[in-house]
Structure 1
Amino acid sequence: MTRGRRVGLAAAIALALFAAYEVISSFVAFTDDAYVQSDLIALAPQVTGRIIAVEVADNQDVAEGDLLASIDPIPFQLAVDQRRADLAEARAQIASDQHRIASARDALAAASSAADFARENEKRLTTLASAQDVSRVALDQASDTLRRADAARDAAQESVAATEATLSMHQATEARAVSALALAEWQLARTKLAAPTSGTVTSLSLRVGDTAQADVPLIGIVDARAWRIVANFKESYIRGFTVGSTAWVSLDSNPWHLRRARVAGIARGISREAVPDRLLNYVAPTTDWIRLKRRFPVTLTLVDPPSDLKLYMGADARVVVLP
C-alpha cells in the first residue's frame, strides 16, 4: 500500500470515528465529571451558653428530632422565673387599678348626683327669691353649695381619668411582661439542640465545656433525604435532555454497579468567570477539538436505590444519559 493510500485510509478512519462519535453522542451522553451531592446543614444554636452535654459522636447517624447537645439551662430558667414574677406584679397592679377605677366611678356618680341636686335646689330658690319668698342669704348659700358640688364632680371626673390612664400604662407594662416571658421561655427551649432532619453528623469537634455562640454553627449534618447526583455535561449534550430522562450512574464508592436515575433538573445558566459569591455556578470549561466547551450542571436522582446503599457527599460518579 502506497503512502498516499495509507494517509487516505487513516483520514477516512478518523472521519468515520468522528462521524460515529457525533452520531452516538446524539443518542447517548456520557460524563465522568459527576459527583454525589446532598445538603449540608450547619446547625447553629439560637442562644449563647456553656455546653453541658454532647449526645452524639462524629459520623453518627441521627433521626429528625434526636437530641444532639445541651446548653446550660440554669441562666435561662432564672430569666423565665424573673419574667413570670414581673408579669404577676403587672397583673396585680392592674387588679389594683381596676379596683381604684371602680371606687373613682362610684365617687363620680355620687358627686354628679350631689351636683344635680344642688343645681335643682339653686334653681328652685332662685324662683322663690324672685317672689321674695326666701331670703337672699339662703339663695347665696344654695349657689355656693352648687359651685362646691360642681367642683367636686369635676375633681371626681379627673380622678376617673387619671386612674384609667394609670390602668392603660400598667396594661402596656403587662403586654411587655408577656412578651418578655415568651422570649425567655423560647430561649430556654433553645438550650436543647435537636436534629432538624435525618442524616449523619460530620466533622464534630464539640466538647462539654465549650461556649456555644448564637448563630455560629456547631454541628454539621449531611441530610439523608437530599441525596442526588450532579453531573457536568458539555453544552452540546444538554440540548436533548428533558426532566425525567433516563440515566445510568456508576458510583466510585460502589463500583461495578449501574444505578438507574432520572434527570431532575438542568441548569439554565452558568457563570463565565470564576467569581465567588455569585448565584450562578461556575464550571471550568474543557478543551475539545481546540474549542473550549462549556459544561452545565445536570441534577439526577437515583430510582429506587437499595436501602443498604451508602452514599458519600463529594464522591465521584460517572453518568450516561439517554436523551
Structure 2
Amino acid sequence: MQHRRWRRLVVGIGSLLALLVVWQVLTSIIAYTDDAYVHSELVTVAPQVAGVIVSLQVGDNQAVKRGDLLAVIDRMPFQLARDDRRAAVQEANAERDGGRDDMAIARDQLTTAEASLKYATEEQARLATLSGDEAVSQEQLERANELLQRATTQQATARASIDRAAQSLARLEALAARAESALALAEWQLGQTEIRAPVDGTINNLNLSVGDSATVGKALIGIVDDAGWRIIANYKEGYIRDMQPGETAWVWLDTHPWRFYRARIQGIARGISRGASEDAILPYVAPTTDWIRLSRRFPVTFTLVDPPPDLTLYMGADARTLIFR
C-alpha cells in the first residue's frame, strides 16, 4: 500500500515536471498573448472660430475623405468682419498713396532748393571775387549774400519737410500693412466657418446638430483614421527581449474569428509607467487582473501585412497575437 502511494507521488511529481518542461519549451518557441486590441488614431476635429452650426453635412459612422465638408458655422458675422477689413484696407491704401505723393512733392522741393542753393553759392562766390577788383557794386554783393542765405534756409526747410514726409509715410505704410494683415485674418476666419475632414476615415460617435454652438478648440467631431490601423499587444517582460522590429507574427481578430492574419512587429515600447496617471507620457499597463498580480507587460505594436481589401477593422476590438521563434 505504501509502495503504491510512493509510486503515485513520483508519477505526480514527474507529470508536473513534464508539464513544466513542456510549458517552458512552448514558451521558448511561441510568444502568445490575448491581451491585445485593434487601434488607430482618433482625430478630433475642433473649430478654429466660434459660432452657431447652421449646416451638418455628415452622419454618424459615415466614411469621409480628407477635405470633405463636415459642418458649416454661421458665416454672416465673419463676412461682415471681412467686408469691414476690406474697407479699412482701401482707406489705409488711399492714405498711404497720399503719403507717397507728399513724399514725391517733398523730394521735388528738395531738388529745387538744392539747385537754388548751388546757384546762389556759385553766384555769391563769383561776385565776391569781382568785388575785390571793384568790378561789382557793394549792393550787388549784398543781394548775392541775401540770396545765398535765403537758399540755405529753403534747403534746410526742404530737408526737414522730407524728413517729416518720410516719417509720415512710414507710419502710413505700417497702417496699410496692418490693415492687410487684418483683412487676411478675417478672410481666414471666414474660410474656417467650413469645417472639413483632415484625414480619410470614419465619423465616430457623432453628437452634433444644427443649432449647436461651436467653441474654438473644443472637439466637435471624431474621425477614426483609416491610415493608422495597428494591433497593440501587451507582452510579459520575459518575452520582449527576443523580439525584433520586422519580425513576422500572426494576429487573430475577435471581429473576424477562426483566421490568423499575417503581421509584422512595428515597434516595442522601451518604457512603461509604474503607476496610472492621466497625463503620463509613458503607457501604463495594469499589472493585476481579477486580483491576480501579473508580471509587467510592455506594449508591442504590430501592422498587418497585405490585409484583404474587404477586411474592416474596428478600433478597440479584442485581438490575439502569436509569434513563432
TM-score, normalised with respect to structure 1: 0.93
Aligned ranges 1:64-143 → 2 under 5 Å: 64-143=66-145
* Aligned-residue offset at 1:213: 0.8
Identical-residue share of aligned pairs (%)? 51
Moved more, 122-131 or 211-220: 122-131
Aligned residues of 1:39 and 1:226 also touching (Cα < 8 A): yes
* Aligned-residue offset at 1:69: 0.4
Structure 2 residues not aligned, in runs of 5+: none
Q: Which residue of 2 aligns with 1:20?
A: 22
* Aligned-residue offset at 1:286: 5.0
Aligned ranges 1:204-223 → 2 under 5 Å: 204-223=206-225
* Aligned-residue offset at 1:148: 1.4
Query: Match of 1:240, SS?
Result: coil
Q: Which residue of 1 aligns with 2:179?
A: 177
* Aligned-residue offset at 1:13: 0.5
* Aligned-residue offset at 1:291: 7.5
For residues 122 and 322 of structure 2, the distance between their equivalents in structure 1, rounded to whole angstroms, comes to 105
Aligned residues of 1:68 and 1:195 also touching (Cα < 8 A): yes
Name the aligned partner's letter for residue 280 of structure 1: L
Q: Which residue of 1 aligns with 2:9?
A: 7
For residues 104 and 318 of structure 1, the distance between their equivalents in structure 2, rounded to whole angstroms, comes to 83
Q: Which residue of 2 aligns with 1:294?
A: 296
**Match 2:307 to one of 305, 308, 315:** 305
* Aligned-residue offset at 1:154: 1.0
Query: Match of 2:100, SS?
Result: helix
* Aligned-residue offset at 1:131: 3.4
Name the aligned partner's letter for residue 72 of structure 1: D
* Aligned-residue offset at 1:90: 2.2
* Aligned-residue offset at 1:314: 0.9
Report Cα offsets for 1:28-58 as digits up to 9, x if no partner: 1111111111111111011111111011111
For residues 147 and 44 of structure 2, the distance between their equivalents in structure 1, rounded to whole angstroms, comes to 80
Query: Match of 2:274, SS?
Result: coil
Report Cα offsets for 1:89-115 as digits up to 9, x if no partner: 222222222222222222222222222
For residues 236 and 116 of structure 1, the distance between their equivalents in structure 2, rounded to whole angstroms, comes to 96
**Match 2:275 to one of 263, 273, 276:** 273
Aligned residues of 1:35 and 1:317 also touching (Cα < 8 A): yes
Moved more, 238-247 or 209-218: 238-247
Q: Which residue of 2 aligns with 1:195?
A: 197
* Aligned-residue offset at 1:135: 3.5
* Aligned-residue offset at 1:137: 3.2
For residues 291 and 111 of structure 1, the distance between their equivalents in structure 2, rounded to whole angstroms, comes to 96
For residues 135 and 308 of structure 2, the distance between their equivalents in structure 1, rounded to whole angstroms, comes to 115
Aligned residues of 1:202 and 1:221 also touching (Cα < 8 A): yes
Report Cα offsets for 1:183-229 as digits up to 9, x if no partner: 11111111111111111111111111111111111101111111111
Aligned residues of 1:129 and 1:139 also touching (Cα < 8 A): yes
Count the aligned residue pairs. Answer: 321
Query: Match of 2:241, SS?
Result: helix
Q: Which residue of 1 aligns with 2:57?
A: 55
Q: Which residue of 1 aligns with 2:227?
A: 225
Aligned residues of 2:287 and 2:293 also touching (Cα < 8 A): no
For residues 114 and 246 of structure 2, the distance between their equivalents in structure 1, rounded to whole angstroms, comes to 84
Q: Which residue of 2 aligns with 1:147?
A: 149
Q: Which residue of 2 aligns with 1:282?
A: 284
Query: Match of 1:2, SS?
Result: helix
Moved more, 209-218 or 174-183: 174-183
* Aligned-residue offset at 1:236: 1.3
For residues 104 and 246 of structure 1, the distance between their equivalents in structure 2, rounded to whole angstroms, comes to 80
Query: Match of 1:121, SS?
Result: helix
For residues 170 and 25 of structure 2, the distance between their equivalents in structure 1, rounded to whole angstroms, comes to 82
Aligned residues of 1:286 and 1:294 also touching (Cα < 8 A): no
Distance 1:111 1:21, change over 3 A: same
Query: Match of 1:256, SS?
Result: strand
For residues 178 and 92 of structure 1, the distance between their equivalents in structure 2, rounded to whole angstroms, comes to 13
Aligned residues of 1:245 and 1:322 also touching (Cα < 8 A): no
Aligned residues of 1:243 and 1:265 also touching (Cα < 8 A): yes
Aligned residues of 2:120 and 2:151 also touching (Cα < 8 A): yes
Structure 1 residues not aligned, in runs of 5+: none
* Aligned-residue offset at 1:297: 0.7
Query: Match of 1:180, SS?
Result: helix
Moved more, 291-300 or 186-195: 291-300
TM-score, normalised with respect to structure 2: 0.93
* Aligned-residue offset at 1:274: 2.1
Q: Which residue of 2 aligns with 1:264?
A: 266
